[in-house]
């Protein structure tokens, strides 16, 4: 076992590939068997600890040691990323009221479970996509001056692609939804990546990501599922889309892509201009 651990420590890129593959396969096949948000949250918390173990093999305790003092700062910068889920929340609530959907009798419990589930998603995906997918390639190819560009491209492709796991693409409509889903997730992930580079605070980006998912789905804790609820979330399944709902979600994805791109550009120009990437590459 010691030889395996030493090998994984010495080969951060191999560790990255193993970690991302393990987590993606686990979510794809085990996640599909989860009957509710609580089961899904427990699975993702377990996988998040596994991801943190992989990250520790790659970069030791550095990532976890450098989280102090920047959480509030990082969270404030990422507040604009909550614009889209807030819009989705308003649309979902309005739609449910118009459809006269009754409140869930157990909504307080469902709200707590959803909060736990959303935070588990944020923690797992940020430790994996921002932590492992950044630190592994960076430690392996530290001498490459373009490594941060490479990391950003890989992050967009992999993080965006992971959000298609379990989706069915059998029509032009679903293909369009898939493309926009990859773009919205990938570009949104860039915002978290930039702040991770700026602060190395994995907890702040995980919290922001979890709050994003919570706001996007919070109406599901209050109301029974309906077309209005499903159309208001950009993580709706691509399976079995009806024409009207498909167009509505297509528009929502397009809006999310535009908002995420604007926010990513704003963060880059306003908050990343003082980052010395040559120094960062040498001292990360």
Residues making up the chain, counted from first to last: 284
Look up residue 128 and give its DSSP letter. Answer: I
Over residues 179-196, mean pLDDT: 94
**Nearest-5° Cα angle at 79, 41 to 94:** 70
The answer to whether 118 and 210 are in contact (CB under 8 A) is yes
Mean pLDDT computed over 79-100: 89
The domain in which residue 69 lies consists of 2-283
More confidently predicted of 31 and 228: 31
3-state secondary structure of 2: helix
Distances in Å between the Cα of 214 and the Cα atoms of 81, 119, 120, 139 are 13, 8, 11, 33
CB 23 within 8 A of CB 124: yes
This prediction has a pTM of 0.89
- pLDDT tens digits along 96-150: 888 888 888 899 999 999 999 999 999 999 999 999 999 999 999 999 999 999 9
pLDDT at 244: 58
pLDDT (tens digit per residue) in 214-227: 999 998 899 876 54
246: confidence class by pLDDT, cuts 50, 70, 90: low
pLDDT of amino acid 123: 97
Give the pLDDT of residue 242: 53
The number of distinct structural domains making up the chain is 1
Q: What is the pLDDT of residue 137?
A: 96
């Amino acid at each position: 076992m010691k030889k395996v651990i030493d090998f994984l420590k010495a080969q951060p890129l191999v560790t990255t590939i193993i970690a991302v593959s393990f987590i993606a396969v686990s979510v794809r096949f085990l996640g599909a068997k989860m009957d509710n948000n609580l089961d899904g949250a427990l699975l993702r918390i377990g996988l998040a600890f596994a991801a943190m173990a992989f990250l520790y093999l790659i970069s030791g305790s550095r990532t976890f040691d450098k989280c102090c003092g920047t959480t509030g700062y990082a969270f404030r910068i990422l507040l604009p990323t909550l614009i889209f889920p807030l819009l989705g929340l308003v649309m979902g609530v309005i739609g449910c009221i118009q459809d006269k959907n009754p409140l869930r009798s157990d909504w307080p419990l469902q709200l707590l479970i959803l909060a736990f589930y959303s935070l588990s998603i944020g923690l797992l995906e940020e430790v994996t996509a921002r932590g492992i997918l950044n630190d592994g390639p960076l430690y392996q190819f530290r001498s490459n001056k373009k490594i941060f560009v490479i990391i950003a491209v890989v992050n967009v492709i992999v993080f965006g692609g992971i959000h298609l796991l379990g989706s069915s693409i059998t029509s032009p409509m679903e293909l369009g939804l898939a493309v926009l889903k990859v773009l919205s997730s990938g570009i949104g992930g860039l915002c978290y990546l930039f702040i991770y580079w700026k602060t190395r605070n994995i907890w702040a980006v995980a919290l922001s990501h979890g709050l994003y998912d919570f706001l996007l789905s919070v109406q599901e804790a209050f109301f029974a599922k309906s077309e209005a609820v499903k159309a208001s979330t950009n993580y709706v399944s691509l399976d079995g889309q009806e024409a009207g709902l498909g167009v509505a979600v297509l528009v929502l994805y397009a809006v999310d892509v535009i908002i995420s791109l604007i926010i990513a550009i704003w963060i880059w120009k306003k908050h990343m201009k003082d980052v010395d990437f040559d120094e960062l590459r040498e001292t990360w």
